[in-house]
């Protein structure tokens, strides 16, 4: 895994060029990890008035036994711009990852992966930068996405389309809960992403590592923003 300096663009044009470069490079690499993950992570970030808060939770897979958690607070280095969320989210996440004693075989991110206008969402960008397989899970779609609601049965799914291409799946992870958008990130396939997400579902519609990371981030933000 590499933890080199993350590149913050100075303009939207530069940000787009970075995403397009990543898309080209990712397209030349194999899609499936060579081994099944034994340690997975959930990564999430939240924002206060002037600070970003990030948490990474490591769990064994598939038991989801808790291993460790890292939390970090940092400045906000990039504004919120739709389609370029990774430039805002990745720097604080990297701060949290740098505090871990060990690294996961796969990371689940609260955001999109291949399901992105340039096929380079947060999950893909983070996985590529860290050279770790990744999966994107989001609670809502992006402009330009088209998907019909899956049936109410747990595990049902429908395709998510962008520009005539299937980029992800709208997955009903729990009966009675809203479906989530799942897409492959870095060195993963959509089938693998859907399977791993379903194996990580417990009492929430999001995978348990992401649920725990979200809760940790919210607690940290509440403590620091008082």
- Give the per-residue pLDDT at 226: 79
| Amino acid 3: pLDDT | 53
| 3 state SS for 73-137 | EEECCCCCCCCCCHHHHHHHHHHHHCCCCCCCCEEEEECCCCCCCCCCCHHHHHHHHHCCCEEEE
Identify the pLDDT of residue 30: 56
What is residue 162's predicted lDDT score, i.e. its pLDDT?
A: 97
Instruction: State pTM to two decimals.
Output: 0.94
> Which pLDDT value is given to residue 208?
98
Return the pLDDT at 217: 97
Low-confidence ranges of the chain (pLDDT < 70): 1-4, 28-35
- Helix/strand/coil percent split, the chain, to 5: 30, 25, 45
CATH numbers and ranges of domains, the chain: 37-224 (3.30.2170.10)
What pLDDT was estimated at residue 68? 97
Contacts of residue 38, Cβ cutoff 8 Å, sequence gap at least 6? 60, 61, 105
What confidence score (pLDDT) does residue 33 get?
A: 59
């Amino acid at each position: 895994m590499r933890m080199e300096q993350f590149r913050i663009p100075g303009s939207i044009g530069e940000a787009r060029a970075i995403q397009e470069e990543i898309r080209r490079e990712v397209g030349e690499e194999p899609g499936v990890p060579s081994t099944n993950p034994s340690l997975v992570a959930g990564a999430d970030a939240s924002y206060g008035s002037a600070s970003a808060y990030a948490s990474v939770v490591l769990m064994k897979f598939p038991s989801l036994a808790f291993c460790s958690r890292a939390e970090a607070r940092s400045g906000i280095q990039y504004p919120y711009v739709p389609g370029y969320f990774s430039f805002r989210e990745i720097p604080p996440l990297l701060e949290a990852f740098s505090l871990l004693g060990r690294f996961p075989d796969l990371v689940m991110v609260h955001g999109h992966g291949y399901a992105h206008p340039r096929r380079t969402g947060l999950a893909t960008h983070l996985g590529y930068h860290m050279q770790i397989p990744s999966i994107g899970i989001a609670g809502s779609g992006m402009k330009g996405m088209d998907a019909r609601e899956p049936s109410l049965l747990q595990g049902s799914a429908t395709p998510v389309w962008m520009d005539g291409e299937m980029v992800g799946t709208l997955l009903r992870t729990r009966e009675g809960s809203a479906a989530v958008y799942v897409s492959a990130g870095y060195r993963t396939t959509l089938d693998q992403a859907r399977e791993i997400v379903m194996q990580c579902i417990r009492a929430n519609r999001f995978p348990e590592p992401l649920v725990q990371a979200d809760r940790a981030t919210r607690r940290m933000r509440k403590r620091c923003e008082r």
